[in-house]
Amino acid sequence: METLVHDRTLVLAWILTFVVLTSLTQTGSSEPTTVVKVDGSSTVFPITEAVAEEFQKDTRGSVRVTVGISGTGGGFKKFCRGETDVQDASRPISSGEMETCRASGVQYYELPIAFDALTIAVSHQSSWVESITIDELKHMWDPSSQGRIVKWNQIRSSWPDQPLKLFGAGSDSGTFDYFTEAVVGKAKASRGDYTASEDDNTLVQGIANDKHALGYIPYAYYEPNKKRLKAVAVDGGHGPVLPSRDTVENGAYQPLSRPLFIYVNAKSAGKPEVKRFVDFYLMQAPILVPQVKYVPLPRGAYELAVAHFKNGKLGTAFQGVSTVGLKIEDLLQREAKL
């Protein structure tokens, strides 16, 4: 009898051990062992999110990629403190951010990944507006217009005597920096009495639901919402042009075409999981960028980025200089000289 009890005890012990080991094995296989931290631009977010999803499938969950949205400016604050591995940016790193990174010992790779057609959008109910000039946009958004330019007919007399409600990026956004520089003439120079958000989906909702609204959003947020939003053709001096892949590639959509980037912390690039993620990003970008409705760069641009990353080409090709009016071929020339 004692032998039987002893045997049963052994069997139960083996079963318990097997269950525990199996549980640990399954937990180990489902729990990522390493993390790649990305933050920054909401404009670049759709690209990075798509890449991260495919990468995690490719690595079978052994690497987890976290992608935050704190705006280009907010993201660079974290990046220059060494808190993130990769920075999504809808503009090049500024001279102030370069100095902050330098002071904290953060070196970086600058890798262009796409072009955006920053889109002026209104509700489909706004039947009176089909095109707008850069001068008219400046009249809307100039700091001196705050509290004074409050109706549509103050911009163009043929437009209605109705309230003008503006929507745009928050001050931590690279989109805010680029738009104000391209339209007003100075980065961060803007009236303050508008609905601001770093979340472009919030801007889409606000513009779509108000017939008196006008705002600016990245093209990837306009394209999926075409049934709710209407793009306004922009006249930069050569006639009205609508945003599209073709008008970005041929250089006609100016000055609201702009390059998009990721920045990689050089120290983080020494980690196998980060290096693997960046290599995967540059390989998949030509496929995924158009899927999320941005304009892919020529294949040679991605090959150049791969070479820079492989050969340790650190720094920026822009040195804090404006990219307003930059065309794809101009970007390639700058990056080739890095």
Which residues, listed in sequence order, are joined to residue 67 by a DSSP beta bridge? 38
Task: Let me know whether 226 and 282 are in one domain.
Answer: no
Residues 147 and 231 both lie in one domain: yes
Please indicate, yes or no, if residue 107 is contained in any of the structural domains: yes
Q: Domain for residue 64, yes or no?
A: yes
What residues contact 228, with CB distance under 8 A and at least 6 apart?
123, 124, 204, 208
Residue 198 is predicted with a pLDDT of 86
Give just the sign of the alpha carbon dihedral 144, 145, 147, 148. Answer: positive
If one counts the domains in the chain, the total is 2
Which is nearest to 138 in space by CA: 219, 256, 59? Answer: 256
Supply the pTM of this predicted model: 0.88
* Residue 272 shares a structural domain with residue 324: yes
Parts of the chain with a pLDDT under 50 = 1-29
pLDDT digits 0-9 by tens, 135-187:
999 999 999 999 999 999 999 999 999 999 999 999 999 999 999 999 999 99
Q: Which among 242, 272, 306 is the end of a domain? A: 242
Phi-psi label, residue 319: left if phi above 0, alpha if psi -120 to 50, beta otherwise: left
* CATH number for 217: 3.40.190.10
Give the model's pLDDT for residue 19.
Answer: 39
Please report the pLDDT score of residue 337 as a whole number: 87
**Residue 17 placed within a domain:** no
Q: Are residues 124 and 193 in the same domain?
A: yes
- What would the pLDDT profile of 250-269 be if each residue is shown by its tens digit? 999 999 999 999 999 999 99
Burial label for 281, CB within 10 Å (0-12, 13-18, 19+), is buried
5 occurs within a structural domain: no
Q: 150 is in which domain, residue-wise?
A: 119-242
Nearest to 284, CA basis, from 128, 76, 52: 52
Same domain flag for 131 and 237: yes
Q: Are residues 93 and 134 in the same domain?
A: no
Provide Rg for the chain, Cα atoms. 25
Same domain, 109 and 171: no
| Whole-number pLDDT of residue 15 | 41
| Residue 29 one-letter amino acid | S
Rounded to an integer, what distance in angstroms lies between the CA atom of residue 75 and that of residue 97? Answer: 11
**Token representation of residue 134:** 């850069």
Q: Are residues 237 and 291 in the same domain?
A: no
Whether residue 221 is contained in a domain is answered as yes
Which of 137, 140, 308, 170 has the alpha carbon at shortest distance from 236? 137
- Write down the pLDDT at residue 31: 53
Same domain, 128 and 222: yes
Q: Whole-angstrom Cα distance, residue 55 to residue 65?
A: 8
Residue burial 46-64, b: 16+ Cβ < 10 Å; e: rest: bbbbbbbeebbeebeeebb
**In which residue are the tokens 């890798």 written?**
111
Shared domain check, 271 and 193: no
pLDDT at 216: 98
* pLDDT score, position 39: 98
